[in-house]
A and B are shown apart, each in its own frame.
Chain A
Amino acid sequence: KAGVTQTPRYLIKTRGQQVTLSCSPISGHRSVSWYQQTPGQGLQFLFEYFSETQRNKGNFPGRFSGRQFSNSRSEMNVSTLELGDSALYLCASSLNQGVSEQYFGPGTRLTVT
């Protein structure tokens, strides 16, 4: 069974631009969560989607948004990029919402210049 895939793996953007990251969960998994990892703040929860609905949201500004499609694939969008948005963005899938074991993708390394 294929694992969680994330595209692209690396991105370089300029301040003020927007970016869209994609995540394909493990086949059969219906929940997708997104995390931001930085050296200073560690791993922080962004949001979780289940059945195309956002179920939980972390403490991030409205510039961070996401969506989930009927095939459970998810996208995350960051608008008006700031230097501080440079991070490794990780996606995790699980069978069901919340209590199931999470499986992580390799991440997308975003650099904002």
Chain B
Amino acid sequence: KQEVTQIPAALSVPEGENLVLNCSFTDSAIYNLQWFRQDPGKGLTSLLLIQSSQREQTSGRLNASLDKSSGRSTLYIAASQPGDSATYLCAVLGSGGYQKVTFGTGTKLQVIP
């Protein structure tokens, strides 16, 4: 059974700081890993999708890396802004016989002006 863990559970940083969010998964047999942000009471917004054959993806101030062998992904946010405050979730799509998306526990980020 795939288990996805995100550390830390909560993070508070001053505006302008660079930060790293972590995502760990137990089963390396995955098709892809996707990072999302969720604002309170809202749905999920897709940030980055990394296929299992890729090592990283970039979009603006965001950079996500994937190391399948160690079961880890990181989301790097450069020059954080108050608008980045949200909960960040990673989701793993398994490539076993029973394909299923497993979400991490989330990291709640607060960027202080």
Contacts and interface: CB of A to CB of B under 8 A. Distances in A.
Interface of A: 4, 33, 35, 42-45, 55-56, 58, 88, 90, 92, 98-99, 101-107, 109
Interface of B: 31-32, 34, 36, 41-46, 49, 51, 89, 91, 93, 98-106
Contact of B103 (A43, A98, A106, A109): A43
B105 A42 contact: yes
B103 A104 contact: no
B45 A56 contact: no
Given A42-B106, A45-B101, A103 B46 contact: yes
Contacts of B42: 106-107
A45 B93 contact: no
Contact of A106 (B43, B46, B105, B106): B43
Contacts of B45: 104
Contacts of B89: 43
Contacts of B104: 42
Contact of A99 (B36, B43, B46, B93): B93
Given A42-B106, A45-B100, A101 B43 contact: no
Contacts of A109: 41
Nearest to A103: B46
A63 B98 CA distance: 21
A50 to B, nearest CB: 11
